[in-house]
Amino acid sequence: MSNSSKKMKTYYESIIEKGYSRRDFIKFTTYMTAFMGFEASMIGQVTKAMETKKRIPVIWVHFQECTGCSESFIRSDHPLVADLILDHISLDYTETLMAASGHNAEEAKQESMKENYGNYILVVEGAIPMKDDGVYCSIGGRTAIDILKESAAGAAAILTFGSCSSWGGVQAAHPNPTGSVPVDAIIKDKPIIRVPGCPPIAEVMTGVVMHYATFGRLPELDSLGRPKQFYGKRVHDTCYRRPNFDAGLYAESFDSQEAKDGYCLYKLGCRGPVSYNACGSMGWNNGVSFPIKSGYPCIGCSEPDFWDNSPFTERLMNIPGIGIESSADTIGKVTVGVAAGAAVVHALATNIAKKKELREAEECGEENERNIKA
């Protein structure tokens, strides 16, 4: 997959070459502008950028993970998301999706990294095991630690796709037998954007790449390093079951008619009130569904340490109810004042936020129930 012949093309040229019409292109930029959270007035700017800017090469590496992030990515309902990114925009190297394998694949990667040194985006999927010198994840005889360091050296920025590379993921679950860590535990000198979720939403992944391509800079991040436009709200804030939560209508069991009828899943363990993600507003398969809509409570898969937060089907609080004002950012600011610069800030922020929200939940929930009984 040498990119030397492709690298000078603009996004638009690549799309047209693929056989899409200009109308398809405009539809795509309109769609992505909305997904990126911009006003309709920004469509022109995004379209122009896609027409005129050279594609940004992306190197996508895989470590300890289940490949669900790639699965989610290629299943975007919009044809151009997959086509554009996979075939034409930028995926110069991705072990899972590229046609080449073995030495050919490695050569393609080395070539792309050399030609685009300092300019490519590195996407990392999966955590990195540190224990026993990293032997628990090796590719072609090299450890994930080595490969990550080499790939990161020439990257303009790193996107950590999925909760594994963002937070450590399921393999970091207690007692974390292989010593799995997220990317920012190893790479300290590059901008890192977290795109968590297990897996993340396809259009969120594409949207982050497109934001960078369009504006030449990283999107605004929250205090945990996630793009605000996609992680600025809790699942609870955009959940279609929210009116039932507010009305105090909760499903008591999975097989109940109430659960089918859209009653709130809070009592069945839903972590939506403490999870920041765009599932409720974007969803998968062109917004057709997301876990809660499919009948299962949110397990907080976009949050740090969610994997140790089980049992998932038991509610964490006595009574549900959450104010909708706080954001991950305001929570982060409070904590940063206490322990600025420490890696532990992220975990603390989440825990403090959760505790605060739990208290609010109890108060608000009690009021809910009182109102209902009155």
Name the residues that contact ligand FSX, by CB under 6 A.
65-69, 125-126, 162-164, 169-170, 198-199
Q: Which is nearer to ligand SF4, 20 or 250 (CB)?
A: 250
Residue with tokens 């919009």: 78
Q: Determine the interface stretch with ligand SF4 among 102-110, 145-153, 237-245, 302-310 (rule: CB under 6 A).
A: 237-245
For the chain, the straight-line distance linking the first and the last C-alpha, in angstroms and rounded, comes to 68
State the binding partner of 241 from ligand FSX, ligand SF4, ligand F3S, none, CB within 5 to 8 A by kind: ligand SF4
> Would you count residue 197 as binding ligand F3S (CB under 6 A)?
yes
Structure token pair of residue 169: 């993921």
Residue 220 C-beta: closest distance to ligand SF4, Å:
24
Do residues 84 and 15 make contact, with C-beta atoms less than 8 angstroms apart? Answer: yes
> Would you count residue 273 as binding ligand SF4 (CB under 6 A)?
yes
Q: Contacting ligand SF4 (CB under 6 A), which of 164, 195, 292, 349? A: 292
Q: Which is nearer to ligand SF4, 120 or 263 (CB)?
A: 263
> Would you count residue 204 as binding ligand F3S (CB under 6 A)?
no
Q: Contacting ligand SF4 (CB under 6 A), which of 56, 121, 264, 361? A: 264
CA separation for the pair 38, 7 (Å, rounded): 28
CA-closest candidate to residue 264, choices 244, 238, 283, 239: 244
State the binding partner of 264 from ligand FSX, ligand SF4, ligand F3S, none, CB within 5 to 8 A by kind: ligand SF4
CA-closest candidate to residue 121, choices 25, 6, 201, 217: 217
Residues at the contact surface with ligand F3S, assessed by CB under 6 A: 197, 235, 275, 277, 279, 290-292, 298-302
Residues at the contact surface with ligand SF4, assessed by CB under 6 A: 235-236, 239, 241-242, 245, 264-266, 270, 272-273, 292, 298, 320
